[in-house]
Amino acid sequence: MRKQRYIAYFSMEIGLDVNIPTYSGGLGILAGDTIRSAADEEIPMVAVTLLHRKGYFFQKLDEVGAQIEQPVDWKVEDCLQEVPGRASVIIEGREVLLRAWKTEVRGISGGVVPIFFLDADLPENTEPDRTFTHYLYGGDARYRLCQEVILGIGGVRILRALGYKYIVKYHMNEGHAAFLGVELMNEVLQIRKRKLFSDSDIAKIKSRCVFTTHTPVSAGHDQFPRDLVERVLEGGKIGELKDLLFHENVLNMTYLALKFAGYINGVAKKHGEISRHMFGTYSIDSITNGVHAATWVSPRFQPLFDRYIPNWKQDNFSLRYALNIPREEIWAAHEEAKAELLKHVNRITNVGMNNKVLTIGFARRITPYKRNDLLFSDVKRLMKIAEKGGGLQLIFSGKAHPCDVMGKDMIRRVVAAMGEASSQIKAVYLPNYDIILAKLLTAGVDVWLNTPQPPLEASGTSGMKAALNGVPSLSILDGWWLEGCIEGVTGWAIGTIPNPDSAKDPAQDAQLLYDKLETGIVPLYNNDRNRYIDIMRNTIALNGSFFNTQRMLQEYVLKAYFEP
């Protein structure tokens, strides 16, 4: 039995290592960075996720940008250790046995956070049940619901089986994990030898649960029809709990998480505000996301920081002293990071990019609200900007969910537009965006671009990775950029205020983007290098020092984990 009191962190995806492909994008990377910072700060945390034996998917692209999806062939035994504990959940009346695999994240001063990956692929289970933990965000609604039962209910049970008795807080990273509240209620009723729950039981569970919501549109929340839920949970002894599950005859995982959580937050100030509008009856705070600094600062900048800001890994706030680093050294480190990226790009694509040319990076999940093709709204104008301004190079990357038809179309449009512009602009779309590519890209480009449709970017984190490497953002004012943008100081805004009409008129946002490039960024980069480097240095000092998971986790500790 473990006497230590733990924070249990539940997430459907965790992105830690490129060889453990159990993530699809920002949500998983945030989870990984949170765990790393918890280990650094020696916070007693234990994390739970699913194994995703076939990953999210491996992305290939054909010549026209059509996405081909393949299962990821990764070797679980090489990356994780099986642990002896077993747990089970009831799904459709059958007992589904679960085991767990473990890895440990070690922090800067020796703190350790174990991560348990739940696995249903056991000979005791039926063939179809063995696949429940194969594909991240795969399959149909039933498959997703079964995965969420395994994560929430199975997750609590495996922690018990492994001896974690004293868990002071359960942190649900997005609504996928909300069934953990159902299991906690089961435990309470069992202890109190009752069948019916009371308000005080709910209050008890609330005192132990934290919920972070990530989606600013209600359509983005997982929802399951009542008959499906009843079929899947049949035999699972949740009879009296059914009242808790349904909201107008559907199970909405966000509502379920809200019901069980005593502390709720959005992931940026604006997102907190939007969430309060969406869920009026709940009290919702905000804690702005961050990234793990030591992970995302490139090997080119690390020695520079070590020299000028010796304690930067222990104390990310001290990155404010980046203002003391001489311009030439910032530029030299950046040139090295850029050379490394372009060498990689040239080697795998033969595009022949030039280290001296202004290079814009854009990489993230591909989905309509991210408007990954906005830069190509007017290819002729973009070509003119490049022609007049000494050239432009573009590096794009990102996966579309296999069912996201519009997202996949968008990749094809981007690839086609790159072809159209090729006489003037060297541009590539790199397949299979992952952690390694993200590191190369966010450190190696000159400008990090983001063009979401407001207010749909809850936070965004890749611009924070860029900031830590002195790469300024050019972005729509949404999510974290509303807090991080100081115009002409830490980067540039596209448009002045978050424009509620821009959803209707992306062409207008595109024009604002071109204007800013043409009259601001391109001339500054080519003709006023010192001022450009000042902006780079400011992004480290003002944004790198703040938008990190060390500061973020300290807020969680004060407001959510160990509140008085």
Ligand X SMILES: *Cc1c(COP(=O)(O)O)cnc(C)c1O
The structure tokens listed for 502 are: 């821009």
The nearer residue to ligand X, 30 or 162, going by C-beta atoms, is 30
**Which residues fall within 8 angstroms of residue 329, CB to CB, at 6 or more apart?**
304
- 312 within 8 A of 416, measured Cβ to Cβ: no
The nearer residue to ligand X, 89 or 443, going by C-beta atoms, is 443
- What's the min distance (Å) between Cβ of 452 and ligand X? 8
- Cα separation of 30 and 13, whole Å? 9
- What's the min distance (Å) between Cβ of 437 and ligand X? 7
- What's the min distance (Å) between Cβ of 101 and ligand X? 22
Residue 433 lies near ligand X (rule: CB under 6 A): yes
Among 16, 29, 153, 180, binds ligand X (CB under 6 A): 29
86, β-bridge pairs: 99
Which 168-207 positions form the footprint of ligand X (CB under 6 A)? Answer: none
Residue 26 lies near ligand X (rule: CB under 6 A): yes
Helix (H, G, I), strand (E, B) or coil at 11: strand
Mark 507-526 with x for binding to ligand X (rule: CB under 6 A) and - for no binding.
Answer: --------------------
- What's the min distance (Å) between Cβ of 443 and ligand X? 12
| Rg of the Cα atoms in the chain | 24
- What's the min distance (Å) between Cβ of 369 and ligand X? 11
- 327 within 8 A of 528, measured Cβ to Cβ: no
Among 131, 254, 462, 543, binds ligand X (CB under 6 A): 462
- What's the min distance (Å) between Cβ of 223 and ligand X? 23
Alpha helix stretches (DSSP H) within 207-286: 226-233, 242-245, 253-260, 269-278
Phi and psi at residue 368, in whole multiples of 5°? -50, -45
**Which residues fall within 8 angstroms of residue 194, CB to CB, at 6 or more apart?**
none
Among 40, 373, 434, 478, binds ligand X (CB under 6 A): 434
The structure tokens listed for 113 are: 């956070």
CB atoms < 10 A from the CB of 357, how many?
A: 18
Strands (E), 253-388: 263-266, 285-286, 359-363
Among 25, 55, 154, 431, binds ligand X (CB under 6 A): 25
Residue 21 lies near ligand X (rule: CB under 6 A): no
- Cα separation of 412 and 314, whole Å? 44
Q: Which stretch binds ligand X (CB under 6 A): 22-30, 65-73, 335-343, 349-357?
A: 22-30
Q: Which stretch binds ligand X (CB under 6 A): 104-112, 252-260, 454-462, 498-506?
A: 454-462
Residue 65 lies near ligand X (rule: CB under 6 A): no
The structure tokens listed for 192 are: 């109190």
Q: Which stretch binds ligand X (CB under 6 A): 43-51, 114-122, 434-442, 507-515?
A: 434-442
Residue 259 lies near ligand X (rule: CB under 6 A): no
- What's the min distance (Å) between Cβ of 384 and ligand X? 28
Q: Which stretch binds ligand X (CB under 6 A): 96-104, 319-327, 387-395, 461-469?
A: 461-469
- Three-class HEC string of 362-393: EECCECHHHCCCHHHCCHHHHHHHHHHCCCCE
Q: Annotate 133-169 with DSSP letters as a single string.
A: TTSTT-S-HHHHHHHHHIIIIIHHHHHHHTTB--EEE
Residue 401 lies near ligand X (rule: CB under 6 A): no
Residue 460 lies near ligand X (rule: CB under 6 A): yes
Residue 364 lies near ligand X (rule: CB under 6 A): yes
Residue 435 lies near ligand X (rule: CB under 6 A): yes
The nearer residue to ligand X, 67 or 186, going by C-beta atoms, is 67
User: For residue 421, what is the DSSP state?
Assistant: T
User: For residue 549, what is the DSSP state?
Assistant: H
The footprint of ligand X on this chain (CB under 6 A) covers a number of residues equal to: 13
The nearer residue to ligand X, 31 or 560, going by C-beta atoms, is 31
Which 465-494 positions form the footprint of ligand X (CB under 6 A)? Answer: 465
- What's the min distance (Å) between Cβ of 121 and ligand X? 25
**At residue 172, what is the residue type?**
M
Query: Which residue, chain included where needed, has tokens 């983001």?
Result: 450
**Which residues fall within 8 angstroms of residue 121, CB to CB, at 6 or more apart?**
51, 53, 130, 131, 133, 134
- 11 within 8 A of 28, measured Cβ to Cβ: yes
Q: Which stretch binds ligand X (CB under 6 A): 240-248, 305-313, 433-441, 521-529?
A: 433-441
Using CB under 6 A as the criterion, which residues of the chain lie in contact with ligand X when the complex forms? Answer: 25-26, 29, 364-365, 433-435, 438, 460-462, 465
